Amino acid sequence: MKFDSPATTNPIDQLNVVGKPLDRIDGPLKVSGRATYAYEWHDPAIKPAYGVIIHATIPKGRIRRMDASAASRAPGVLTVVTPESLPKLIGKLEKGKFNTATLMGGPEIDHYHQAIGLVVATSFEAARAAANLVTIEYEEKPGNFALDKLIDAAGLPKDGEPDSGVGDFEAAFAQAPVTLDQRYKTPDHSHAMMEPHATLAVWDADGLTVWTSNQMVAWGRSDLAKTLNLPEEKVHLMSPFVGGGFGGKLFLRADVVMAALGAKATGQPVKVALARPMLMNNTTHRPATLQRIRIGATREGKITAIGHESWSGDLPGGGPELAVQQTRLLYAGENRMTRTRLAVLDLPEGNAMRAPGEAPGLMALEIAIDEMAEKLGMDPIAFRILNDTQVDPEKPERPFSQRAFAEVFRIGAERFGWDKRQARPGQLRDGRFLIGHGVAAAFRNNMVTKSGARVRLGKDGIVTVETDMTDIGTGSYTILAQTAAEMMGLPIERVAVHLGDSRFPVSAGSGGQWGANNSTAGVYAACVKLREAVAKRLGINAADVSFANGEVRSGGRALSLTEAAKDGELVAEDSIEYGDLDKTHQQSTFGAHFIEVGVDAATAEVRIRRMLAVCAAGRILNPKTARSQVIGAMTMGAGAALMEELAVDTRRGFFVNHDLATYEVPVHADIPHQEVIFLDETDPMSSPMKAKGVGELGLCGVAAAIANAVYNATGVRVRDYPVTLDKLI
């Protein structure tokens, strides 16, 4: 189905099932241990061996000598895969569309903890013990590990964002009566998802099957085939349950490639999990940024010049963190400039983490806006609303499809009690705590992308949905079931959903908060076809038919839906494909975050007291799962504000803190109170579902709102995340 004109009234608008706060249909499987995560795949026919990865302990250089003989002789060991055994085993690893060729390194070492071998044994313990017997001599080369030393060496990224400019930023900034010129720092972040990367790999006559934990099934399958030099049809990838991803599982990681190699070498199924301490340095992370923001405004608070520059680093051939993205779209202003610079860093690979670009970009921009409002003597909400824009500020002929920017602030301000905030810092106290209030805007784009599904109406009257979409804890199973139930006029109990299998139609996958809108629109398209098939089978006019309460109604007749399948299952398949509505209209999601903190007047310990998010993100398909997305994201924002930081050892070239004891994330005691309000809106430009996404919006802006609240409490402006107590005293 081609979606190229704004959605009008359609069956989804019935809202009998869609839009209801239903429980997750996969919840019982998860809480009873029957959800089959990659490492726990239960198939009595599969008796796996266990692989433990050998990883580099230098950041850059080459292997001079690797001795695996003692490991090979150790009890239980079946094989040791080394860079030397690779050519015979598979040839050389090819580069997929993404960075897969270096998932096994050696003899060259690209980064610390890069996989350079695999010990396969009959038990995990035997494999781990033997992995410690492998001795390696390296020839170490010097590398660059400190971003702040590379500002001048940083250049234009190879592909991606060119610099942007409108009007004459420098002149307008120089002439503006009120200006701000500040620098901000965000650190490297780890995805730190609950389920580490894990894979079970099996080779048979049909090729390679992997049960893995991956957000993007079709990308993974295609890249695995390319990397191992196999025809795509010889690769089968299963990822039905994913214990969190946050972007860290958008692409194949070493567990998949090494499990496939180990299984090939031993001729038996092999399981490989990345142990928690490997996640930080073996997989990807959100890159640190240095940012400079300049804003010029009239005395009345109208922005006349806005400039945002960002520096980040990555391995050779890598990409930048696009931290200036939102600044191109969020506020009005005639003279604009953004620049993105990339340095070569020999740390582990930087890549997408939840709201890549906007998350660190808004951490800086939304402090800058708060600072600017203070300079102008304006309320920070009034300053934001004054500089609202209903069109793309770089291309005024492009309106936003929806932009309830002012509204999220107005609703939030009333709900939060913003009028009780003291403009001057350090005025409120509750016992030993200084109390502060902060606000920030949330912004993230809505991306539309092709998504397919197959739906079946069985003889038993059950509708089954099949798509390679993933559920990374987000609620995909449930919203896809709701979509099919609404379209076919059934209660949700009569819909079954099967996901995460590369044999199913290719979906949008889970990333960039595009999953919910696109994958449900794909199921919508398939259901439109199934409805037509039902009408045809029943001999009724497809143009005059409605589906409700398990019945198909046409004219005065009402037939049971099950009737349509009594002579055999009906199957329909389709994809949603998009025209250029996302080019003629800027599609974005908006929000406002309100925070109250208490800062201990003696120790400077920061305690969050209240968090409120107001989100405008099109139709909310399931307020319960959407709320869970947003409160999880707000929690992640609290981590980014107050504790999360991969500490770089700039001499040894690696991230020092590599477990959850030292890479701190918020716990329940850090988050006493959260509230989420969704605006009641629909976006007819986004898809027939009229929905957008909230999974990343919920994170965007949170950290800045907290930093602004800390400033309001203490009068200390911290521009270098995380806002730890040493920076406040």
- Please give the positions annotated as active site: 696
Among 196, 240, 244, 245, binds ligand MOS (CB under 6 A): 245
Give the range of 26-34, 276-284, 350-358, 435-443 binding ligand MOS by CB under 6 A: 350-358
Coil/strand/helix, residue 309: strand
Give the range of 265-273, 352-360, 561-569, 701-709 binding ligand MOS by CB under 6 A: 352-360
Nearer to ligand MOS by Cβ, of 512 and 637: the residue is 512
Among 90, 103, 353, 614, binds ligand MOS (CB under 6 A): 353
The residue with its CB nearest to ligand MOS is: 247
- Check binding of 352 to ligand MOS (CB under 6 A): yes
Phi, psi of 188 (to 5 degrees): -65, 140
Nearer to ligand MOS by Cβ, of 289 and 335: the residue is 289
Nearer to ligand MOS by Cβ, of 215 and 575: the residue is 215
Site pattern 562..601 for ligand MOS (x: CB under 6 A): ----------------------------------------
Tell me the sheet residues that pair with 212.
Answer: 199
Asked if residues 440 and 704 have their Cβ atoms less than 8 Å apart, the reply is yes
Among 105, 356, 653, 666, binds ligand MOS (CB under 6 A): 356
Give the range of 143-151, 325-333, 349-357, 455-463 binding ligand MOS by CB under 6 A: 349-357
d(CA 51, CA 76): 12
Q: Closest distance between ligand MOS and the C-beta of residue 472, in Å?
A: 8
d(CA 443, CA 617): 10
Q: Closest distance between ligand MOS and the C-beta of residue 238, in Å?
A: 19
By DSSP bridging, strand 49-55 and strand 270-273 are: parallel
- Check binding of 301 to ligand MOS (CB under 6 A): no
Nearer to ligand MOS by Cβ, of 195 and 371: the residue is 195
Six token digits for residue 370: 């708060």
Closest by CA position to 106, among listed 2, 232, 257, 267: 257
- Check binding of 354 to ligand MOS (CB under 6 A): yes
Q: What are the distances in angstroms from CA 259 to CA 115, 122, 178, 501? A: 12, 14, 59, 18
Nearer to ligand MOS by Cβ, of 477 and 711: the residue is 477
d(CA 224, CA 229): 8
Nearer to ligand MOS by Cβ, of 354 and 619: the residue is 354
Site pattern 117..136 for ligand MOS (x: CB under 6 A): --------------------
Q: Closest distance between ligand MOS and the C-beta of residue 253, in Å?
A: 13
Phi, psi of 329 (to 5 degrees): -125, -15
Closest by CA position to 86, among listed 108, 71, 70: 108
Q: Closest distance between ligand MOS and the C-beta of residue 345, in Å?
A: 20
- Check binding of 474 to ligand MOS (CB under 6 A): no
Give the range of 23-31, 177-185, 347-355, 601-609 binding ligand MOS by CB under 6 A: 347-355
Place of tokens 């039905």: 240
Question: Burial of 21 by CB count in 10 Å (0-12 exposed, 13-18 middle, 19+ buried)?
Answer: exposed
Q: Closest distance between ligand MOS and the C-beta of residue 445, in Å?
A: 11
Q: Closest distance between ligand MOS and the C-beta of residue 312, in Å?
A: 15
Long-range own/partner contacts, residues 159-163 (CB < 8 A, 24 or more apart): 159/319, 160/319, 160/320, 160/322, 160/340, 161/320, 161/322, 161/324, 161/325, 161/338, 161/340, 163/337, 163/338, 163/339, 163/340
d(CA 534, CA 556): 17
Q: Closest distance between ligand MOS and the C-beta of residue 33, in Å?
A: 26
- Check binding of 413 to ligand MOS (CB under 6 A): no
Nearer to ligand MOS by Cβ, of 323 and 439: the residue is 323
Asked if residues 359 and 287 have their Cβ atoms less than 8 Å apart, the reply is no
Total residues interacting with ligand MOS, rule: CB under 6 A: 11
Nearer to ligand MOS by Cβ, of 215 and 628: the residue is 215
By DSSP bridging, strand 606-616 and strand 674-678 are: parallel
Give the range of 136-144, 241-249, 362-370, 454-462 binding ligand MOS by CB under 6 A: 241-249
Q: Can you give the C-alpha Rg of the chain in angstroms?
A: 27
Q: Closest distance between ligand MOS and the C-beta of residue 29, in Å?
A: 23
Nearer to ligand MOS by Cβ, of 218 and 352: the residue is 352
Give the range of 45-53, 138-146, 239-247, 294-302 binding ligand MOS by CB under 6 A: 239-247
Nearer to ligand MOS by Cβ, of 246 and 477: the residue is 246
User: What's the half-sphere exposure (Cβ side, CA atoms, 13 Å) at 594?
Assistant: 25
Nearer to ligand MOS by Cβ, of 489 and 695: the residue is 695
Q: Closest distance between ligand MOS and the C-beta of residue 615, in Å?
A: 18
Nearer to ligand MOS by Cβ, of 96 and 356: the residue is 356
Within 8 A by CB and 6+ apart from 609, the residues are 435, 596, 597, 598, 672, 673
By DSSP bridging, strand 495-498 and strand 463-466 are: parallel
Give the range of 104-112, 246-254, 317-325, 635-643 binding ligand MOS by CB under 6 A: 246-254
Residues 487-546 that bind ligand MOS (CB under 6 A): 511-512
Place of tokens 């038919």: 545
Q: What are the distances in angstroms from CA 182 to CA 295, 325, 369, 370, 573? A: 9, 18, 11, 12, 53
Give the range of 114-122, 245-253, 361-369, 411-419 binding ligand MOS by CB under 6 A: 245-253
Among 215, 222, 482, 507, binds ligand MOS (CB under 6 A): 215
Nearer to ligand MOS by Cβ, of 373 and 702: the residue is 702
Q: Closest distance between ligand MOS and the C-beta of residue 516, in Å?
A: 13
CA 574 to chain CA centroid, Å, is 26
Asked if residues 187 and 722 have their Cβ atoms less than 8 Å apart, the reply is yes
Q: Closest distance between ligand MOS and the C-beta of residue 159, in Å?
A: 18
Q: Closest distance between ligand MOS and the C-beta of residue 246, in Å?
A: 6
Question: Burial of 385 by CB count in 10 Å (0-12 exposed, 13-18 middle, 19+ buried)?
Answer: middle
d(CA 140, CA 59): 8
- Check binding of 247 to ligand MOS (CB under 6 A): yes
d(CA 708, CA 722): 13
Which strands form 235-238's sheet, in the order they lie side by side? 77-81, 115-121, 49-55, 270-273, 198-204, 207-212, 235-238
Question: Burial of 286 by CB count in 10 Å (0-12 exposed, 13-18 middle, 19+ buried)?
Answer: buried
Residues 361-380 that bind ligand MOS (CB under 6 A): none
Q: Closest distance between ligand MOS and the C-beta of residue 264, in Å?
A: 29
Tell me the sheet residues that pair with 442.
Answer: 591
Residues 15-54 that bind ligand MOS (CB under 6 A): none
d(CA 516, CA 627): 13
Binding site for ligand MOS (CB under 6 A): 215, 245-247, 250, 352-354, 356, 511-512
